[in-house]
Amino acid sequence: MAIKIFVTATNTGIGKTHTTLLLMETAKKRGLLPAAFKPIETGVEDTPLDGTKLLKCTKKLNPNSTDLTLEDIVPIRYPLPAAPYVAKGKESISVDYLKDKMNEVEKVCDILFIEGAGGVLVPIEDNLFMADLPKIFDAKTLLVSPSRLGSINDTLLSIEALRNKEVEPVVAVNLFEEADTFEKITRPYYLQSRLEHYLLPKQADDLLIRLLKA
């Protein structure tokens, strides 16, 4: 059984794919064979952009993954750039199907990074949200937060939403937006409130170790 890590975020455009690729490289350096799985990708007109990056990285780092295809990495794709609940139209999304597809990818790796879509409360079906997937997939959870002003509110709301699902996340801050002011504007609260967090990319190795111990 591979170690499974569900990568979610406070919203869309926060850097889930960027973080997943970084952690895959970090895992490889630690002697693990990584793979990636993105259950659902929306906004796919032709080729899934995120899925393509994840497949390319998986094949580069994991010699067991040569037979994997985009259909394995991203089994469900929709052209509309919206939440899966909206993008799917009248179709239904089967959790059992997603679990079966994940299990196939899991067979070729030591550690599997499962990337969600959008933020933690993005709807998939009635009463099924991204925040439900960590327990469904039996995965540890990484919450990626931005470094910009306003991210404290988004981070705390996302943590609360996950805890309401009985999911305890590990928090990482992707230093890309307003990174030059993060230490002065945002981080003081995290430090004073003793909110455990890791800064990316510089603490990627520490983050991976923490996730492995979670």
Tokens of 12: 């869309």
Q: What CA–CA distance (Å, rounded) separates 70 from 67?
A: 10
- Dihedral sign (CA 98, 103, 105, 111): positive
Print the SS3 string covering the chain.
Answer: CCEEEEEEECCCCCCHHHHHHHHHHHHHHCCCCEEEECCEEECCCCCCHHHHHHHHHHHHHCHHHCCCCHHHHCCEEECCCCCHHHHCCCCCCCHHHHHHHHHHHHCCCCEEEEEEEEECCCEEECCEEHHHHHHHCCCEEEEEEECCCCHHHHHHHHHHHHHHCCCCCEEEEECCCCHHHHHHHCHHHHHHCCCCEEEECCCHHHHHHHHHHC
Catalytic residues: 38
